[in-house]
Amino acid sequence: MAAVTRYPEELRLRLPRGMPEALSLAAGQHLTTPTEWARQALLRSLQAEGIRICDGKAAVGERGDTVAPRSLHRGQQA
């Protein structure tokens, strides 16, 4: 059985029409939930901007810094 990860923080966003459906479609292509797909997409975007999260704190690094990007497929590394 897969380990469950808990995320203590929440963020509410206003979305354009069609975005929830688009998230569902993208998540379905990767066999994950829309929430997990969005979380991973945000993390990739932050990394591309040179922002990373380390030990629960945001830190500035080099643009495009990556630390073993995770696959959107559950339980697999990219």
pLDDT value of residue 70 = 52
Of 32, 35, 28, 30, which Cα lies nearest the Cα of 13? 35
Q: Is the dihedral of CA 69, 72, 73, 74 positive or negative?
A: positive
User: What is the residue-averaged pLDDT of the chain?
Assistant: 83
pLDDT digits (tens, 9 = 90+) for 49-64: 999 888 889 999 877 6
Q: How far apart are the first and last CA of the chain?
A: 21
